[in-house]
Amino acid sequence: MFNTNLKHDILIKLGSAVGSDVPFCIFGGIMLAEGRGDILTKLTPLPPCFIVICKPAFSCSTPELFKMINCRKIKIRPDTDGIITALTNSDIYSAVRRMYNVFEDFLPRGTGDIEEIKYIMLNNGALGSFMTGSGPTVFGVFDDDVKAQKTFTVLRQDYEECFITLPVTYR
């Protein structure tokens, strides 16, 4: 973007010093992130779909959420291998059914908007709805643009930061 002529491995090293999710942002697309987010593997792009993104007007502290995580108490995890297989088969329905964000099980009080947003998305036809990372932003995946647009319109009434988009393919 800034014509730095830096190689990707140098950009990843520099980005990792800024934040764990920065290397992903350098590449974009669909990636399997491992380690601290700095070990990235390209995956098959999402099949055609629509994504509604909604951010409630509060923040979640990533360090605080990590402190709350007790790995022994995690009951549900995303099915990463199943998601990869579904993406390889261009099966958006199977991919979404296997998604999950374990941070949602450890949210502190005062984050009820997250559940409300997910509820609205699912009741308006989302194939699935999940919090992004450590939140509080929520996204819903739709196979129909009319359902996605309706959901966006409903959410936009109460949430200023609401967007509708399409998946980005690799650059």
According to the model, what pLDDT value does residue 167 have? 87
- How far apart (Å, rounded) are the C-alpha atoms in residues 144 and 124? 11
Best CA proximity match to 160, nearest among 59, 57, 52: 57
Question: What confidence tens digit (pLDDT) does each residue in 115-129 have?
Answer: 999 999 999 999 999
31-34 and 128-131 as β-strands: parallel, antiparallel, unpaired?
A: unpaired
According to the model, what pLDDT value does residue 171 have? 43
Q: Are 107 and 60 in contact (CB under 8 A)?
A: yes
Question: What confidence tens digit (pLDDT) does each residue in 5-22 have?
Answer: 888 788 878 888 888 778
Q: Is the peptide bond before 78 cis (omega within 30 degrees of 0)?
A: no
According to the model, what pLDDT value does residue 133 have? 84
- What mean pLDDT comes out for the span 27-41? 81
Considering the chain, what is the average pLDDT of its residues? 88
Share of the chain above pLDDT 90, in %: 50
Question: What confidence tens digit (pLDDT) does each residue in 78-101 have?
Answer: 999 999 999 999 999 999 999 999
Q: Which residues in 95-114 are b (16+ Cβ under 10 Å) and which e?
A: bbebbbbbbbebbeeebebb
According to the model, what pLDDT value does residue 1 have? 55
Angle at which helices 145-156 and 112-123 pack, to 10 degrees?
140
- What mean pLDDT comes out for the span 147-156? 98
Ordered structural domains, the chain, with CATH = 1-42 (no CATH), 44-165 (3.30.70.890)
